[in-house]
Amino acid sequence: MTESKTNATSPELAMEPHRALWLEANPWIAGVLAFLIPGAGHFYQGRWFKGTIYFFCILGTFLGGMKLGDGMVVYHKADTRLPTVWYATQLLTGAVALPAYFQGLRAAQPANRPLELSSISGTLTLPFEGELKAIGPGREGVGGPAKGTLTITSERTAFSYELGGRFVGTVGDRQVDLPLGGSRFLLAPQIGGGSGRAIEVSIGRNPNDHPDLQRLLIGSTPRSFMDSFEAPPDQQSLNDVYRRLGARYDMAVVFTLIAGLLNLFAIWDCVEGPAYGFGDEQPRPAPSAENAAATIATAATSANSATTSESRAAKPPQAVLKT
């Protein structure tokens, strides 16, 4: 009822189109902002409600997938120059997925390789968490969950390098102080996927052990956030996460892909504007029979006036005779 009164009293207001706020903002700037941060393009256009929905839904889906997959679902492979289809789709989420590209470049550097005994100079001290694994006769009751600190040195021999140092910590519920020895040493590259850097070292022989008994510390040492966030995992790390998470890992990847596709629609909406307007446009009034007749009469009068004016303009002026 109110709308009808408004249309009847001020038809000019009803005929005036809605002021398109999204056209006043540069659509390309809005598109770039929407790509970098989901919802930012809509904030730039003054569309706060829709921008808030995109911001929380898209980033929530992306970060939820990252958390579900232990942070190893978004990465750019170090051995490829162009992004894979999976990463290109995840990259549509914007700035939150961009670090993976640069982490892939960092991981591809020659210096980022597994550490060898010959490369250790001085003393290397690392926190350790994993297990003490015993192999061979007399292994019963020797191994178990292990946690502590590794102090690693490299000792040069006549033909190679030998592991030195100690492990101080716990194995099961026992406090231990074990010497390192032998040549078994593995430390994963500094830059890689996962918060843990795989490490494997051999324990020196104990005179009381069986001659064929071998003891190994197999586990991981923490990797910094800067070296692990969206960095490409090696094949062993991928195998481990698949074994631990199973279908949960695949679901985590799907979540990040969905986030990228959702942001693609958000970018399109910023560049092209609202698909159906803002919803508060005033409708044009439906012409009644009286209004239609009046409109026709007015149009006919205007046409007659125009014809008369044209006739007068075309008629030559009369000569005036003077007597």
Query: pLDDT tens across 114-149, in order?
Result: 988 888 888 999 999 999 988 877 667 678 899 999
pLDDT at 117: 85
**Burial bucket for residue 214 (CB in 10 Å: 0-12, 13-18, 19+):** middle
pLDDT at 155: 84
pLDDT at 7: 43
Of 52-61, 164-173, 231-240, 313-322, where does mean pLDDT reach its minimum?
A: 313-322
The enclosing H or E element of 215 equals strand 214-222
pLDDT at 294: 59
Nearest one of 235, 226, 251 to 73, comparing CA atoms: 251
pLDDT at 285: 53
Nearest one of 218, 184, 219, 205 to 138, comparing CA atoms: 205
Phi and psi for 33 in degrees, rounded to 5? -65, -40
> How high is the mean pLDDT of the chain?
81
Cα separation of 60 and 227, whole Å?
Answer: 23
Mean local confidence (pLDDT), 224-242: 90
Alpha helices for the chain (secondary structure H)? 2-9, 11-15, 21-24, 27-36, 40-44, 48-68, 85-91, 99-107, 225-228, 235-245, 247-272, 289-314
Let me know the angle formed at the C-alpha of 104 by 103 and 108, rounded to the nearest 5 degrees.
115
pLDDT at 270: 86
Integer angstrom CA distances of residue 124 from 115, 176, 201: 11, 19, 13
Of 101-115, 164-178, 200-214, where does mean pLDDT reach its minimum?
A: 200-214
Mean local confidence (pLDDT), 222-232: 93
pLDDT at 64: 95
Q: What percent of the chain has pLDDT over 70?
A: 76
Is 60 exceeded by the pLDDT of residue 18? no
Max avg pLDDT among 181-185, 197-201, 298-302: 197-201
Mean local confidence (pLDDT), 229-258: 91
Of residues 205 and 32, more confidently modeled: 32
Cα separation of 37 and 95, whole Å?
Answer: 6
Cα separation of 238 and 235, whole Å?
Answer: 5
Is 70 exceeded by the pLDDT of residue 9? no
Cα separation of 105 and 168, whole Å?
Answer: 36
Residue pair 111/189 in contact (Cβ under 8 Å)? The answer is no
pLDDT at 311: 55
Is 60 exceeded by the pLDDT of residue 288? no
pLDDT at 138: 64
Residues sharing a CB contact under 8 Å with residue 218, sequence separation 6 or more, in sequence order: 130, 131, 133, 199, 200
Q: Please report which confidence band the pLDDT of residue 8 belongs to, taking 50, 70 and 90 as the band edges.
A: very low
Is 60 exceeded by the pLDDT of residue 292? no
Radius of gyration from C-alpha coordinates of the chain:
38
